[in-house]
Amino acid sequence: MEKIKITINGREIFAESEKSLLEIAAENGIEIPNLCYNKKLKPFGACGLCVVEAKGAQKLLRACSTFPKDGMVIKTESERIKKARKFALELIMSDHTGDCKGPCSLNCPAHTDVQGYLKQISLGNYSKAVEIIKEKIPLPASVGRICPHPCETNCRRKFVEEPLSIAYLKAFAADKDLSSNAPFVPKKAEPTGKKVSVIGGGPAGLTAAYYLCLSGHEVTVFDSMPEMGGMLRYGIPEYRLPKKVLEKEISFIKNLGVLMKNNLSIGKDISFDEIRKNSDAVLIAVGAWKAGKIGCVGEELSGVISGIEFLREVNSGKIPEIGKNVAVVGGGNTAMDACRTAIRCGAENVYVIYRRTRAEAPAEDSEIEEAIEEGVTFRFLTNPAEIIGENGKVKAVKLQIMELGEADSSGRRKPVPVEGKFETIAVDTVISAIGQKFDAVGFDSVELTSRGTISAGKNDCRTNLEGVFAAGDSTNKGASIAIEAIAEANLAAKAIDAYLSDIPFDFFEPYYSKKSVSEKDFSETPKIPREKMTFRNPEERKGNFDEVILGFTEEQAKKEAKRCLECGCHDFKDCRLIRYANLRQIEPEKFKGEKHRAFSERKLVSIERDQGKCILCNLCVRTCGEEAKKGILGLVGRGFETVIKPEFIDPAVTDFCRNCKKCAEVCPTGALKIFEK
């Protein structure tokens, strides 16, 4: 076979003249993107991704069907090539109908592989489930208990009966793993010699510390409180998150090699500059511990405390004197934690004051329901007009009666006062639970936003200071749910690792193919009731801080996990199409217009075919004809209407198809899926 000398990306290569450029490049460790190529088949050149530049040639060449000549000089990457590939990918994805990931994963701020870990739970592989969860969340037993589970909001099981109990299944698997003889332990990279300081030991700080430690860096976490955990420890009541569970998960992170230092306040016990001086990188993840103000007369009276302060005191083991009558101002989950904790601290009458209706309260409806069961009284459409005192101590709260007016900029109807309408209730304590803010004391050199939060890069978490990053409730938009802080800490850990490794970090939101569905799409799906969680009864639970939710049995957990509809693509992790699509930002939506009709069928006996995911690369057709020698598959129709369809000639061919499955093995997009009847 004749040998020729060619140059690819500046490298001189001696190659066989009868091989294509794509094949020669692959043999020399140079990847040229492609979807329709298979070395066992004749070149087809359908996808247009394998284009390259040849010196002296006006047009881009398709590497899969170009056989080089001696002396040829090739480039596989250039701006012109990138544009051509981007255009080809945008065209392909504009007519690609399928779910790369399930809507549960896409609605999770951390984008956990929900489908993956639910599958493992259904099989009883709890350690493997935790391995999948810990790709994104290092505190699954804790987060699974307290997360308001935005993943469940988008669960498509709602079109059948009820969404899956995703959060509790996460906690179940994590509990099983923690109590096993061999819990999952991730692999650590070799030591890098780089030192990272994380300021703040809450969910964001612990998450970043975990992933930075796994990347081989020496990580120290500084926290002002006596113990690590942040708001998970000091802001979440024991009846929702037992501290022994949190302690186990924090100990696991500590045992990986993360150094933890407590009782150190920035600007008081240690300076921010001192930490910077002794670190190669710093992450600020101090959360939002400063309480928002009610904004009414009498707020300075003794007996007016913040929800954060109240919960922190109780979670530190103290039962404050709050009297028999308590008013909690706010409608979020912190307000629910405060009112239910007040009941457990001995209050006889606890009122929640919220200026909107129950339907608009940001707290989970289940939290409101459980609070009502425990004896809390809700005063919706009321707002504190004045806190009345006597001898400097709270005596009562005067409430302005409200009504809903026109919608505000967020789309919610704005609560407005009903002129002259008030009511007064006698109280001993007023607990304010209407927001949390970042406390900037000790961080004078860090640039803040107009909202008083740390200004951090949306795509890299960088602050205005070299080597200093920020994540969690202290940044940009401010306080949110724990999983949001964890998601941002994931990003920060990646950005810091890239910074320490001196490599570019160009993060952008990945592109995922999605499809729209309705109840009609699930009309034939069997209805399987959601497994019911066991709760302790209200009379028993309201007198102590024992965990309210008793969890699933193993049988229940497996049954619940099996309800998953597996919406995400079975081939997602190996899909070349989506990998190439995310090498750069693409905009398929600019090619609007009619799409091929998407449908699924099982006419291939042992293979499910999803026409919506098919990109007409023709690999399956050519494999069936050229390799399997059967020609069962073929292109039907012309132009835009072209689709791939099977044609079975006789029973012998059907039997052959049942055992062959070669077409599914070469499909680059997950359009063909092997199944067993």
The string of pLDDT tens digits covering residues 277-318 is: 999 999 999 999 999 889 999 999 999 999 999 999 999 999
Q: What is the DSSP letter of 84?
A: H
In angstroms, rounded to a whole number, what is the distance separating the alpha carbons of residues 243 and 340?
Answer: 17
Question: Does 559 have pLDDT greater than 60?
Answer: yes
CATH superfamily of 195-289+437-500: FAD/NAD(P)-binding domain (3.50.50.60)
**Predicted pLDDT at 42:** 87
Q: Domain 572-674 - what CATH class?
A: alpha beta
Q: Domain 292-434 - what CATH class?
A: alpha beta
Condensed to tens digits (0 to 9), the pLDDT of residues 120-172 reads 999 999 999 999 999 999 999 999 999 999 999 999 999 999 999 999 999 99
SS3 453: coil
In angstroms, rounded to a whole number, what is the distance separating the alpha carbons of residues 11 and 228?
Answer: 53
Of 437, 634, 454, 568, which is closest to residue 119 (Cα–Cα)? 568
In angstroms, rounded to a whole number, what is the distance separating the alpha carbons of residues 36 and 610?
Answer: 17
Question: Does 339 have pLDDT greater than 70?
Answer: yes
Question: Does 3 have pLDDT greater than 90?
Answer: no
In angstroms, rounded to a whole number, what is the distance separating the alpha carbons of residues 213 and 218?
Answer: 6
In angstroms, rounded to a whole number, what is the distance separating the alpha carbons of residues 330 and 307?
Answer: 9
* Cβ 112 vs Cβ 133: under 8 Å: yes
* Cβ 620 vs Cβ 667: under 8 Å: yes
**Predicted pLDDT at 1:** 63
- The H-assigned helical ranges of 440-570 are 482-500, 538-541, 554-561
**Strand blocks (E) in 183-319:** 195-199, 218-222, 259-261, 281-284, 290-291, 304-306
Rounded to a whole number, what is the largest CA-CA distance in the chain?
103
Top pLDDT among 43 and 487 is at 487
Express as a percent the part of the chain with pLDDT over 90: 82
**For the ranges 129-133, 156-160, 325-329, 504-508, which has the lowest average pLDDT?**
504-508
Question: Does 509 have pLDDT greater than 90?
Answer: no
Cα-Cα-Cα-Cα dihedral sign, residues 122, 126, 127, 130:
positive
Residue 68: CB atoms within 10 A of its CB come to 24
Condensed to tens digits (0 to 9), the pLDDT of residues 47-92 reads 899 999 999 999 999 999 999 999 999 999 999 999 999 999 999 9
Sketch the domain layout of the chain as residue ranges. 3-77, 195-289+437-500, 292-434, 572-674
**Predicted pLDDT at 227:** 97
**Predicted pLDDT at 484:** 97
Quick one: tokens of 69?
């000549």
**Predicted pLDDT at 677:** 53
The whole-chain average pLDDT of the chain stands at 94
Residue type, 271: S
Interval 551-561 mean pLDDT: 96
Residue 569 has phi, psi (to 5 degrees) of -65, 135
CATH of domain 3-77: 3.10.20.740
Question: Does 495 have pLDDT greater than 90?
Answer: yes
Q: Same fold for the domain at 195-289+437-500 and the one at 292-434?
A: yes
Q: How far from 225 is each of 271, 313, 472, CA to CA, in Å? A: 16, 12, 17
**Predicted pLDDT at 411:** 79
Condensed to tens digits (0 to 9), the pLDDT of residues 430-484 reads 999 998 999 999 999 999 999 999 999 999 999 999 999 999 999 999 999 999 9
H or E stretch covering 413: strand 413-426
**Predicted pLDDT at 297:** 95
